Amino acid sequence: MSILVDANTKLLVQGITGREGFFHTIRMVEYGSKIVAGVTPGKGGEWVHDGKIPVFDTVESAVEATGANASVIFVPARFAVDAMLEAADAGLPLCICITEGVPVQDMMRVRQYLDQHDVRLVGPNCPGILTPGECKAGIIPGHITQPGTIGLVSRSGTLTYEVLYALKQEDIGTSTCVGIGGDPINGTSFIDVLGMFQADPRTDKVVLIGEIGGQDEEIAAEYISNHMTKPVVAFIAGQTAPPGKRMGHAGAIVEGGSGLASEKIQALESAGVIVADQPEAIPSLL
Amino acid sequence: MKLHEYRSKQLFSQHGIPIPRGRVAMTAREAKLIAQELGGRVVIKAQVLVGGRGKAGGIRLVDSPEEAEEVATHVLGMQVKGLPVRRILVDEAATIKSEIYLSVTNDRNKQCPVIIASAEGGVDIEEVARTKPEKIVRVHVDPLLGMRQYQARQLAASIELSRECWQEFGNIVWGLYQTFVDTDATLAEINPLVISENNRLLAIDGKMIIDDNALFRRPELAEMRDLEEEKPAEREARRFGLSFVKLDGNIGCMVNGAGLAMATMDVIKLFGGEPANFLDIGGGAGADKVAAAFNLILKDEGVRAVLINIFGGITRCDEVARGILAALKEVEGTLPMVVRLVGTNEDQGRHMLRNANMVVATSLGDAAQKAIQLSTEGQST
C-alpha cells in the first residue's frame, strides 16, 4: 500500500513532446513508472522513446486505447487550464499538474469544475508524487529516497528533496512523497494528504513541510489534533520573510498579517506536532 | 503587480463605478491648471505604490488653484516610505457624509472570490478586522456562476446601508466584481466608497493588484507596470527570470527553489546571522543565471559574505559547480563565498569548488555558520 500512485498506476503525460515533458518522461520511465501514453494535440499517431510510447491528439482517445488512469501535465501555463479540464472530462481520477504560472482566477474555476467531477488534482506548480520503488509521477528525483514508512507532504520542491535526502542519509525511507505545490489555489491540500497517510497501513509517521502564506498549515494543525493518531513532524519555511513580499512561490506571501510562519508553528505545536527549527533536524525528530 | 490609484480608478470608471472628476499631474503648474478646471477646491494625492500616504502628508485638501500649485510643489518633492513622488492625482473634493469599505479578492481557504464590505470605511481595513471583526461582512462568489445581483443586496443589508442607496451600491458592487474578473486581479478595493450629503456614492480611493501569472493575456495592463517604483535589483532579477527580494542583512544568498531559499534564510537567522536577500535561481542552475545572480548579490554594498546553497536533484552537482565557476569568470568583484552542494555527484562538485578556493560546506547549518563567520571577519578588517 501507498497513497495516490503505486506499481499499478498507468500514467499518461500531457505535453509529452515538449522539452520538459519529454525530458521527465524519460526520467520517469527509467525509474520504472508505467508510462502508457502521451498527448500532444496535432501529434497523434507519433511515437516517442524509441517507439515505446504512443502519442495521441486527445486525452479521451489516449485513455480509451491504453487504459491510462492518471495524468501528469507538463504543458506551458497558458494551456494548463485546458489540459486539466480535458483530463477531468476524459474521466481520469487523478491529475498531477507540474506546470507553474497558472492564473489564480483560472484555478478557482478549474477547482470548482474538478470538484464536481470527482477528480483528484495535485498541483499545479508542484514536483508531483513519488512512491519509492513503484511509481514516480512528476519530477521528484528518484534516487534521493528509498522505500520506507514515512509519509511526506510539502508545498515546496527543492526543500522537499533536501528533506528526502537528509532522511536517506539516516537510512530512513518514505512510503509516498506528495508535493502539493506552491500556488494560492491548488487541487489538493495538506489535510487531504494527511487523511490518506492516516489511513495508509504502510505509513507510520508523517513529515509536513509548509511555508508562509495562506492558512493551510493552521487547517492542517486542527485536522491533526482531531483526526490523526500517527505522529507528525513539521518544518515551516519563511520565518525571516518580510510581509507583503512574494517569496518565489505565488502563494508564499504574508498578507494583512495573515500567513505568518510564527502563527503556523504555534498552531502545529499546539496540535502536538514537533516542529523542526531547521530542515536537517527532521530525521532526528522522527 | 500593483496599480496606482489613478489607474485603478480609471478601470473602475470603465466598469460604471462613479469616481471624482480629476487628472494626473507631473508638475505643480499642471496641478494648478487642473484645479482651475475643477473649480478650485481639490485634493492633491501622491501616486506611490505604498500604503500610509495620508499619514506621510501625501494627501492634502486645498481651496484654490494657487494653493494647489503650492501644495503640489511640496508633494512632488517628497518621499513616501523611501519612494519619491513622481505623479500626483488632482481630484475634485467630495462632500462626505459617511464612508464604506468595499473590495473583491481571492479567498484561499474557500478557493473562490470573496466580496468584502464594511460600514467602517476610510480606515485601514486590517485594523477594523482586528478591533471590530463584526463590522466586516463577506459574500463568496461561485467562480463558475459569477456574482449574482442578490449578493449585493445581502451586503447592503448587512452593512445597514440606507435603502435609497441600494440601487447605486448594487451597480458599484457589480462593476467592481466585473473589474476584478476582467483584469485578472487578485485585489480590487475601494476605500473609501463615500456617501455624499445627497446620498450619492463615489469611489474616492482605489487600489488594485493584478495577478502576475495572467499578464500574458492582459498586455494593456502589463504596460501599466511602474518600473520606477521597483527596486532596481528586483527589476534586474525579473529580466533574468530570477526571484529576488532585498533584505537588510549582510549575507547574500543564492539558492535553487523558493522553499529552500526561504529555509536557507531561516537557518542563517537561526545561527545568529542576517540574510541580505531572498534569491531563487530556479530548478536548474545554468551558468548565465548563476552569473546574473552573482551580479545582483555583489551590487548590494551591505553584503559581506555569500552563501550558495544548491540541491542537485535533476541537475548534477558537477554541472552546477561548472556553472558556478564559469559564472565567476563573468563577475566583477569578489567576496568570501561558502558553497553547499548536495545531491547527485556531490563529491565531484565539491572537489571542483574546493580547488577554486571556495569554502565548501556539507550541511546547511555548517554553511550558515561558516558564512556568518566570514561576514564578521570582513567587518573587522
Concatenated DSSP letters of A39-105: E-TT-TT-EETTTTEEEESSHHHHHHHH---EEEE---HHHHHHHHHHHHHTT-SEEEE------HH
Q: Are A226 and A188 in contact (CB under 8 A)?
A: no
CA distances from B57 to B44, B99, B103, B204 (A): 10, 20, 25, 17
Q: What is the value of ipTM here, to two decimals? A: 0.93
Question: Can you tell me the mean pLDDT for B52-80?
Answer: 93
Q: What is the largest CA-CA distance in chain B?
A: 79
CB contact residues (below 8 A), chain B span 251-310, against chain A: 255-263, 265-270, 275, 278, 280, 283
The span from the CA of A233 to the CA of A253, in Å, is 23
Per the document, the length of chain B is 381
Q: Tell me the three state secondary structure of residue A274.
A: strand
Structural contact between residues B25 and B31, judged by C-beta atoms closer than 8 angstroms: yes
The CA distance from A149 to A200, in Å, is 10
A104 chain-B contacts, CB cut-off 8 A: 106, 184, 186, 211, 213-214
The torsion defined by the Cα of A142, A143, A149 and A152, in degrees rounded to 10, comes to: -50
How far does A255 lie from chain B, in Å, by closest CA? Answer: 10
Tell me the one-letter amino acid at B252. G
How far is the C-alpha of A242 from the C-alpha of A218, rounded, in Å? Answer: 20
**pLDDT of residue B379 exceeding 70:** no
Residues 146-205 (B) with a CB less than 8 A from some CB of A: 181, 184, 186
Mutate to test the interface with A, among B118, B211, B234 (most CBs of A within 10 A): B211
**B122 contacts chain A (CB < 8 A):** no
Query: Among candidates B272, B295, B248, B301, which has minimal Cα distance to B376?
Result: B272
Q: Which of B378, B194, B341 is nearest to B254 (CA)?
A: B341
Quote the pLDDT of residue A257: 73
Q: Which residues of B touch A251 (CB under 8 A)?
A: 108
Listed in sequence order, the residues at least 6 apart from B62 whose beta carbon sits closer than 8 Å to its beta carbon are: B35, B41, B42, B43, B44, B68, B70, B71
Give the residues of chain A that fall short of pLDDT 50.
none
Full strand arrangement of the beta sheet holding B88-92? B22-25, B88-92, B42-46, B59-62
Instruction: Compute the distance between CA of residue A137 and CA of residue A6 in angstroms, rounded to an integer.
Output: 10
Cell numbers that stand for A229 in this block = 493518531
Residue B238 has pLDDT above 90, yes or no: no
Residues pairing with A34 in the sheet: A10
Give the C-alpha separation, B106 to B113, whole Å: 4
Q: Which of B126, B280, B344 sits opposite A257 (nearest CB)?
A: B126
Verify whether the Cβ–Cβ distance B259 to A154 is below 8 Å: yes
User: What are the φ/ψ torsions at residue B45 (nearest 5 degrees)?
Assistant: -130, 120
Q: Using CB atoms within 10 A of its CB, is residue B170 exposed (0-12), middle (13-18) or buried (19+)? A: middle
Tell me the shortest Cα–Cα distance from B257 to chain A, in angstroms. 5
What spatial distance separates the first Cα and last Cα of chain B, rounded to whole Å? 42
| Angle between helical axes of A59-66 and A77-89 (0-180°, round to 10) | 50
Q: Contact A252/B262, CB-based, under 8 Å?
A: yes
Question: According to the model, what pLDDT value does residue B381 have?
Answer: 43
Catalytic residue among B101, B177, B319, B346: B101
A209: phi then psi, degrees, rounded to nearest 5: -115, 110
Is B325's pLDDT higher than 90? no
- With CB atoms and an 8 Å threshold, state whether A111 touches B111: yes
Give the chain B residue nearest A107 (alpha carbons).
B111
Q: Is the pLDDT of residue B287 over 80?
A: no
**Is B101 labeled as catalytic in the residue annotation?**
yes
Distance from CA of A64 to the nearest CA of B (A): 29
Q: Residue A264: which region, alpha, beta or left (left: phi > 0; alpha: psi -120 to 50)?
A: alpha
Say yes or no for a CB contact (<8 Å) between B143 and A108.
yes
How far are the Cα atoms of A242, B231, B277 from residue B248, in angstroms, in the given order? 10, 14, 7
Candidate from A62-66, B157-161, B350-354 with smallest mean pLDDT: B350-354
pLDDT of B285 reads 61
How does pLDDT run across B187-225, given as a tens digit for each residue? 999 999 999 988 999 999 999 999 999 999 999 999 888
pLDDT the model gives residue B353: 87
User: Is the Cβ pair A161, B113 closer than 8 Å?
Assistant: no
Residue B380 has pLDDT above 50, yes or no: no
Contact B268/A240, CB-based, under 8 Å? yes
In this complex, do B314 and A141 lie within 8 Å of one another by their Cβ atoms? yes
Question: Between B296 and B113, where is the model more confident?
Answer: B113
* Rounded CA separation B26/B166 (Å): 38
Q: In what order do the strands lie in the sheet with B243-246?
A: B243-246, B277-280, B251-255, B305-312, B337-343, B359-361
Does the pLDDT value for residue B283 go beyond 70? no
Question: What mean pLDDT is reported for chain B?
Answer: 91
Mean pLDDT confidence for B306-323: 83
> Where does residue A198 rank: exposed (0-12), middle (13-18), buried (19+ CB within 10 A)?
middle
CA distance A141 to chain B (A): 6
Mutation choice for A interface testing from B278, B279, B309 by most A CBs within 10 A: B278
Contact A108 B106 (CB under 8 A): yes
**Coil, helix or strand at residue A202:** coil
Q: Tell me the three cell numbers of residue B137.
A: 461582512
| Nearest residue in chain A measured CA to CA from B125 | A256
Angle between helices A261-270 and A216-227 (to 10 degrees): 0
pLDDT of residue B55: 86
